[in-house]
Structure 1
Amino acid sequence: TLLRCGAPIREINTVRRHLSRIKGGRLAVAAHPARVITYLISDVPGDDPALIASGPTIPDATTPLDALEILERYSIDIPEAVRSHLVSDDTAPKPHSPEFGLDRTIVQARACDALRAAEASANLAGVDVRVLGDDLEGEARELGGEHATMALTLQKDLKEPLLILSGGETSVTVSGEGRGGRNVEYLLGAISVLQGASNIHALAIDTDGIDGSEDNAGAIFGPNDWSRVQALKLDPATYLARNDAYSFFEALDGLIITGPTRTNVNDFRAILVLPKSM
């Protein structure tokens, strides 16, 4: 329900931590007095260890009442057992508890690592790069539209190829019954602005290989695809209204399907902007 409301991941994980017997540091408490060493691959904006997988071995600074406030703010119908638990629970390990004194946390990989690798590869190919950040959040379709507008603006005075990179984790407020995920919705938001603009290509994927709950990692789109959009009578606004970006890109044969990658450093988005004269 929180996902359908478009809640950001930090709010979703706050609720998760206080409705779990292992999250929010409880797994580490179960292991103590053994020393716990945690190796993490970050799939959350900002790389806060307490948010990654809801922090099974990391103490939690939030409270059960914080979780309750989030649920009430989105007007979610809360089962009475959940409400009672959140009102009365005081079992969450405290951040400065001596139990965690000898523990160690190591973040092995982050979204910024993926963006740096892409930047290095692009530079080797002679392409300039602009990195917008590895922790971008917000409504997916709106961010896609903003990035498309940026690409069009930059292209006006562009002399050399430019790659616009970004990472993070967007949200989708679900109002329709279509198939999709935040990366294909981001890309569909971008297409709604680009509408076949020349020499601009874009892709958006989830690095775990699964965009939301579908079988695709994301999708890809180029300027030559716009004529096919028109030929197939695919109206981006209609597909956005029913949150059906998956079907849109499926019709274009633009889905990127990798299968699960068994790792996850969150979303990866790239817009290649070429000078109009190329």
Structure 2
Amino acid sequence: MNPRDLLQAMFLSAIGRAHPREVIATYLPAPPKGRTVVVGAGKAAAAMALAVEEHWQPGYAISGAVVTRYGHVPPRPHGLSHRIEVLEAAHPVPDQASVDAAERMLSEVAGLTENDLVLCLMSGGASSLLTLPVEGLSLEQKQDINRQLLACGANIKDMNVIRRHLSRIKGGQLAKACAPAKVVTLAISDVPGDDPSVIGSGPTIPCTSSPGEALELLKRHGIRVPGSVLEHLECEARAHAADASPSTWNHNVSLIATPWKSLQAAAETARQAGFNAHVLSDSIEGESREVAKVHAEIARAVAHGKSSLQRPCVILSGGETTVTVNPLVPNRGRGGRAGEFCLGLALTLKGEPNIWALAADTDGIDGVEINAGALVTPDTVARSELAGLSLQHHLDRHDSYGFFKTLNDLVITGPTHTNVNDFRAILVL
């Protein structure tokens, strides 16, 4: 197996380990005495709903609706009935369909009894796909806040604290609407640390943050918000400080797929091919280009025999890096954090022989482009120079898509119907 094929095989192994069809059956609860209502949101929500329909116990009815990103609905097997409706909305910036989906979820769980069950299917992307702004905040204003969050370099935890406190469905509010029915959440983690309250901003998970934290984060990241929003959060912060009453929850949550499990699947693929495999971490955060520098130096140390890691080997990592967009850069390009990592890696390695790499997003979409990520090879720098490309120029313009498209080194899978976030593999021969 050549290096390109091995890297892509590891990526596909990671995706396969996180696909709902492969893992959901183990986690399905027993049917209730009453109704079973399925709701959910995320890039994997449609695939999760389809897997539930395939595996749900015969003789017990289910109904409901989930929402996924446009174009992320998997094909339905012939003859499988449509018991769970699949809606589509926008990501990463919400649209009116995101608001309609949130209202639909609340209507699905209205009027339930203690004999009923709500099965909530959550995965990455739900924060955008399930949007219901607080009173006084318009969709247009919420969209502007989302764009600012995406550009400022805030990590996913900070972003979702803000989102929870600007929403009428996130931060456990969907679960409250389900009462007195039991709620079971099955989640695919796309967040460092696998905190269920961060996945999709936790619509069915008790909120662990405060309105005061959201106010502080808005200030720290320089997010411009309407005065009415600040007044709302200040009012909520005062109420939160005065309310010491405990919350009661008839709820449990299971993580059916995580970044760690997917990285372990990739490592096993590498070992079967005869390589040592090492997982650095499943929860690396930071600027993509800076994370790339550290990975490059680790790989270089291995290549030169200055590491406890023995070549030939594969170095794996996951998590969620960020890209802080410089608003002063003219003619910004296209790309996402995986591609930016690859640009930074190639720039640091400077054509180091015997080092190959792949970085991609496990949902199949790097940013908003058609590629999942990109490949770096020992001759990336040489081929780019022959093509008249400047690595530094493309990195400064955040134009990883244009750079790797010219070199024919984009990784394109299409929507994978799952999402355990960043995947990075470096092969040292």
Q: CA deviation at 1:95?
A: 11
Contact 1:61 1:95 in 2 (8 A): no
- Aligned partners of 1:9, 1:146: CA distance in 2, in Å? 21
- Aligned partners of 2:272, 2:244: CA distance in 1, in Å? 44
Query: What do residues 38-96 of structure 1 show as CA deviations (whole Å, max 9, x unaligned)?
Result: 0000000000000000000001111111111111112222111211211112688x998
Q: CA deviation at 1:226?
A: 2.7
Q: CA deviation at 1:151?
A: 0.6
Q: Tell me if 1:23 matches 2:170.
A: yes
- Aligned partners of 2:352, 2:377: CA distance in 1, in Å? 9
Residue equivalent to 2:384: 229
- The RMSD of aligned alpha carbons is 1.7
- Structure 1 residues 104 and 76, CA, compared in 2 at 3 Å: closer, same or farther? same
Alignment length, in residue pairs? 272
- Structure 1 residues 95 and 120, CA, compared in 2 at 3 Å: closer, same or farther? farther
Q: CA deviation at 1:99?
A: 2.8
Q: CA deviation at 1:233?
A: 2.1
Give the partner amino acid of 1:31.
Answer: C
Contact 2:303 2:311 in 1 (8 A): no
- Aligned partners of 1:95, 1:50: CA distance in 2, in Å? 20
Which of 254, 268, 272 pairs up with 2:423? 268
Q: Tell me if 1:183 matches 2:338.
A: yes
- Structure 1 residues 98 and 89, CA, compared in 2 at 3 Å: closer, same or farther? closer
Higher relative contact order (CA closer than 8 Å, sequence separation 6+): 1
Taking the TM superposition and a 5 Å limit, the aligned residue runs for 1:6-85 are 6-85=153-232
Residue equivalent to 2:288: 140
- Aligned partners of 2:253, 2:158: CA distance in 1, in Å? 22
Q: Tell me if 1:166 matches 2:321.
A: no
Contact 2:302 2:310 in 1 (8 A): no
- Structure 1 residues 230 and 61, CA, compared in 2 at 3 Å: closer, same or farther? same
Taking the TM superposition and a 5 Å limit, the aligned residue runs for 1:242-257 are 242-257=397-412
Residue 106 of structure 1 aligns to a residue whose secondary structure is strand
Contact 1:203 1:219 in 2 (8 A): yes
Contact 1:6 1:173 in 2 (8 A): yes
Q: CA deviation at 1:195?
A: 1.7
Give the partner amino acid of 2:199.
Answer: I
Q: CA deviation at 1:4?
A: 0.7
- Structure 1 residues 46 and 265, CA, compared in 2 at 3 Å: closer, same or farther? same
Q: CA deviation at 1:244?
A: 1.0
Q: CA deviation at 1:159?
A: 6.2
TM-score by length of 1: 0.94
Please say which of residues 257-266 and 50-59 is displaced more in the overlay.
257-266
Structure 1 unmatched runs, 5+: none
- Aligned partners of 1:190, 1:199: CA distance in 2, in Å? 14
Structure 2 unmatched runs, 5+: 1-147
